[in-house]
């Protein structure tokens, strides 16, 4: 029997280890009090039927999460904060690139919202599809949504939301697809029917899973979920995501969950002011030219929302600033652009007096070239400036 005085680190660390193994949630020493509060919330969900102490005892005794605790515990420990049209970069990518891909496929497209919480994410995707695609294409698209919390899934299936869920939703969309019921909003049946909800534990359950439709996916949304997992758990889930995607499939995480090491088996692309992962053998193509890569997938020119501006003419000052930050690759690009390249790279500098106080000139160029193991030589003519020549490895 565990008494109240010893619900401290020793016992909480045991419970944290079991929860980490079975739910993937990571509770290091500095989060043990947060875990205790979650266990207290679990007790409250049982309306006092099980005390916090007895919940701890049962988990330690069973060396596992007892089945009767599982649903309420996962609900108490997971954060279900979300809203419609969350994170503009992901929404812009979906509206522009994904919609174009779906059109090309004729609607033969599978989307999974992993960790869907109370449904705002998959319903957002359904609304965009309804708005932007004809019915004969939209009807073929599969949107699968899963979560570990039964309470969150029940709310999603009910489809009733408060004002807090609409803080990024255009008013015309809210009026079109939701009906006011007292002080809440009920989603329309036509949107609700586009999404299939089911329970899934990303850690303990196996996927790809053809029986659940979680295989050969074109797109996975998993945002603000992995950030609560341990590193080992993240690696397991990422590997299962990779295996569940078709070649060229997208993995969209939150912008705060990006990690080059953990997602090293994916290509990464930077568009719409965000980074997104792709299961792509041609990862080199993504890096070399993101825009051309997108165009090759969609056959549609990507238009940024930014107003057109006249490109600034590169300067040696800009090259110096980049070099001072250690970005020699971009600095070298400027030198190449300034150069009249007709077989050899060469740039003519005005008389040194024109550069007084700026610190640019031959010394800046020399530093940049040497960082790339290039060779440089110069021919000086003090009256009318200096011309230098360089070769690149």
Mean pLDDT score of the chain, rounded to an integer? Answer: 82
Please give the pLDDT value at position 247. Answer: 92
Query: What's the rounded mean pLDDT across residues 154-177?
Result: 96
Query: What's the rounded mean pLDDT across residues 198-211?
Result: 94
For residue 27, pLDDT beyond 70: yes
This prediction has a pTM of 0.70
**Which CATH fold would you assign to the domain 88-298?**
Rossmann fold (3.40.50)
The predicted-structure confidence for 311-329, as pLDDT tens digits, reads as follows 566 666 777 677 677 676 6
CATH of 316-391, one of 1.10.10, 1.10.3470, 3.30.70, 1.10.287: 1.10.10
Please give the pLDDT value at position 191. Answer: 98
SS3 for the chain, per residue?
CCCHHHCCHHHHHHHHHHHHHHHCECCCHHHHHHHHHHHHHHHHHCCCCCCHHHHHHHHHHHCCCCHHHHHHHHHHHCCCCCCCCCCHHHHHHHHHHHHHHHHHHCCCCEEEEECCCCCHHHHHHHHHHHHHCCHHHHCCCEEEEEECCHHHHHHHHHCEECHHHHCCCCHHHHHHHEEEECCEEEECHHHHCCEEEEECCCCCCCCCEHHHCECCEEEEECCCCHHHECHHHHHHHHHHHHHHEEEEEEEECCCCCCCCCCCCCCEEEEECCEEEEECCCCHHHHHHCHHHHHHHHHCCCCCCCCCCCCCCCCCHHHHHHHHHCCCHHHHHHHHHHHCCCCCCEEEEECCHHHHCCCCCCHHHHHHHHHHCCCEEEEEEECCCEEEEEEECC
Please give the pLDDT value at position 107. Answer: 95
The predicted-structure confidence for 324-357, as pLDDT tens digits, reads as follows 776 766 776 776 666 654 444 555 554 443 433 3
The predicted-structure confidence for 120-148, as pLDDT tens digits, reads as follows 999 999 999 999 999 999 999 999 999 99
């Amino acid at each position: 029997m565990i008494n109240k005085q010893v619900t401290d680190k020793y016992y909480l660390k045991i419970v944290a280890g079991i929860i980490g193994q079975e739910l993937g949630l990571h509770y290091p020493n500095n989060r043990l009090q947060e875990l205790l509060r979650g266990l207290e919330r679990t007790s409250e969900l049982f309306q006092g039927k099980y005390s916090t102490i007895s919940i701890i005892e049962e988990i330690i005794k069973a060396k596992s999460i007892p089945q009767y605790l599982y649903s309420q515990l996962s609900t108490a420990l997971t954060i279900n904060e979300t809203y419609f049209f969350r994170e503009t970069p992901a929404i812009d990518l979906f509206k522009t690139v994904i919609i174009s891909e779906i059109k090309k496929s004729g609607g033969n497209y599978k989307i999974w919202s992993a960790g869907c919480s109370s449904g705002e994410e998959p319903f957002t995707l359904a609304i965009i599809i309804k708005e932007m695609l004809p019915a004969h294409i939209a009807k073929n698209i599969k949107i699968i949504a899963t979560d570990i919390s039964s309470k969150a899934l029940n709310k999603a299936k009910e489809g009733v939301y408060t004002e807090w869920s609409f803080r990024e939703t255009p008013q015309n969309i809210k009026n079109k697809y939701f009906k006011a019921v007292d002080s809440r909003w009920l989603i329309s049946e036509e949107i609700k029917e586009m999404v299939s909800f089911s329970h899934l534990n990303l850690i303990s359950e196996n996927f790809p899973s053809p029986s659940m439709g979680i295989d050969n996916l074109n797109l996975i949304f998993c945002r603000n979920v992995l950030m609560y997992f341990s590193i080992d758990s993240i690696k397991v889930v990422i590997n299962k995501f990779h295996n569940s995607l078709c070649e060229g499939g997208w993995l969209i995480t939150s912008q705060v969950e990006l990690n080059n090491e953990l997602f090293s088996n994916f290509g990464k692309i930077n568009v719409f002011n965000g980074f997104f992962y792709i299961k792509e053998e041609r990862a080199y193509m993504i890096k070399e030219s993101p825009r051309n890569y997108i165009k090759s997938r969609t056959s549609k020119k990507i238009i940024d929302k930014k107003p057109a501006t006249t490109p600034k003419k590169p300067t040696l000052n800009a090259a110096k600033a980049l070099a001072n930050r250690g970005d020699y690759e971009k600095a070298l690009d400027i030198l190449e652009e300034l150069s009249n390249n007709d077989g050899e790279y060469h740039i003519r500098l005005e008389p040194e007096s024109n550069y007084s106080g700026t610190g640019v000139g031959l010394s800046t160029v020399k530093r940049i070239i040497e960082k790339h193991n290039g060779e440089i030589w110069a021919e000086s003519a003090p009256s009318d400036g200096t011309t230098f020549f360089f070769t690149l490895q």
